[in-house]
Chain A
Amino acid sequence: MKNDKRKFSGAERTAAYAMLIALALVFSWLEAQIPAFFAVPGMKLGLTNIVVLIALYRFGSAQAMAVNILRIVLVSVLFGGPWAMIYSLAGGMLSAIVMIILKKTGLFRIVTVSIAGGISHNAGQIIAAMIVMNTAAIAWYLAVLWFTGMLSGALIGILGYEMIKRLPERVFGKGE
Chain B
Amino acid sequence: MDKKKMWTKGIKRDILLLVFLFLTGAVIFIAVIFGSVRGNFVKVNVDGRLIAIYPLSENKTVEINGAGGTNTLVIENGESYIRDADCPDRLCVSQGKISRRGQSVICLPHKVVVEITDENGNASVSAESDADIVVR
Residues of A within 8 A of B (CB): 36, 41-42, 83, 87, 102, 107-109, 111-112, 115-116, 119, 129, 132-140, 142-144, 146-147, 150, 165
- Judge whether A138 and B104 touch: CB under 8 Å: yes
- Cα A42 to Cα B29 in complex, Å, equals 17
- Judge whether A135 and B45 touch: CB under 8 Å: yes
- Judge whether A146 and B28 touch: CB under 8 Å: yes
Q: Is B1 an interface residue (CB 8 A)?
A: yes
* B5-30 CB contacts (< 8 Å) to partner A: 10-11, 13-14, 17-18, 21-22, 24-25, 28-29
B88 to A: closest C-beta gap in Å: 9
Most chain A CB inside 10 Å of its own CB: which residue of B13, B45, B109, B127: B127
Q: List 16 A-B contacts (CB under 8 A).
A: A41-B95, A42-B91, A108-B13, A112-B14, A116-B21, A136-B125, A136-B127, A137-B113, A137-B126, A139-B28, A139-B102, A140-B32, A142-B127, A144-B29, A146-B29, A147-B25
Residues of B within 8 A of A (CB): 1, 10-11, 13-14, 17-18, 21-22, 24-25, 28-29, 31-33, 45, 48, 91, 94-95, 102-104, 106, 108-109, 111, 113, 115, 123, 125-128, 130
- Judge whether A119 and B106 touch: CB under 8 Å: no
With beta carbons under 8 angstroms apart, the residue of A112, A133, A135 that contacts B18 is: A112
Knowing A41-B91, A137-B103, A137-B123, say if A143 contacts B113 (CB, 8 Å). no
- Judge whether B103 and A140 touch: CB under 8 Å: yes
- Judge whether B104 and A111 touch: CB under 8 Å: no
- Give every chain B residue within 8 A of A142 (Cβ-Cβ): 28, 32, 127
- Give every chain B residue within 8 A of A107 (Cβ-Cβ): 10, 13, 17
Closest to B13 in A: A107
- Give every chain A residue within 8 A of B17 (Cβ-Cβ): 102, 107-108, 112, 116
- Judge whether B108 and A129 touch: CB under 8 Å: yes
Closest to B127 in A: A139
A63 to B: closest C-beta gap in Å: 19
- Judge whether A134 and B94 touch: CB under 8 Å: no
- Give every chain B residue within 8 A of A133 (Cβ-Cβ): 45, 48, 106, 108, 111, 113
